Amino acid sequence: MGRVKVGEHLWINLSRRSICDNCTAELCVFNDRVRMGECERFTPLLMAFKKCSCCGQMFEVSSNFQALDYDRCSKCNEHTTACALS
């Protein structure tokens, strides 16, 4: 379980197991009980955006559920080197 701060007093708990755990769909016919990392039909419970601390792009917090650093977007989390703006 990951905890992401999206406001001064607002935190969002994200499940790191599967993107389906963070989705609003109660019954999804597209998931066959496997760990999902990407889904075209993903709809987050709460839409929250953050500005990436590395590149400055805005990203949706729930789509970044596997991140090691929740302050960086998914592209910047894939970098093997340190970010110049951090």
Q: What is the mean pLDDT of residues 32-38?
A: 77
The string of pLDDT tens digits covering residues 39-83 is 888 888 788 888 998 889 998 888 777 788 888 888 888 876 666
Q: What is the mean pLDDT of residues 1-27?
A: 80
pTM for the whole structure: 0.64
pLDDT at 86 over 60: no
Q: Which helix (H) or strand (E) holds 76?
A: helix 74-77
Residue 22: band (very low, low, confident or very high) from pLDDT cuts 50, 70, 90: confident
Residue 4 has what pLDDT? Answer: 80
Sign of the dihedral defined by the CA atoms of residues 63, 69, 72, 77, in that order: negative
Sign of the dihedral defined by the CA atoms of residues 40, 54, 70, 10, in that order: negative
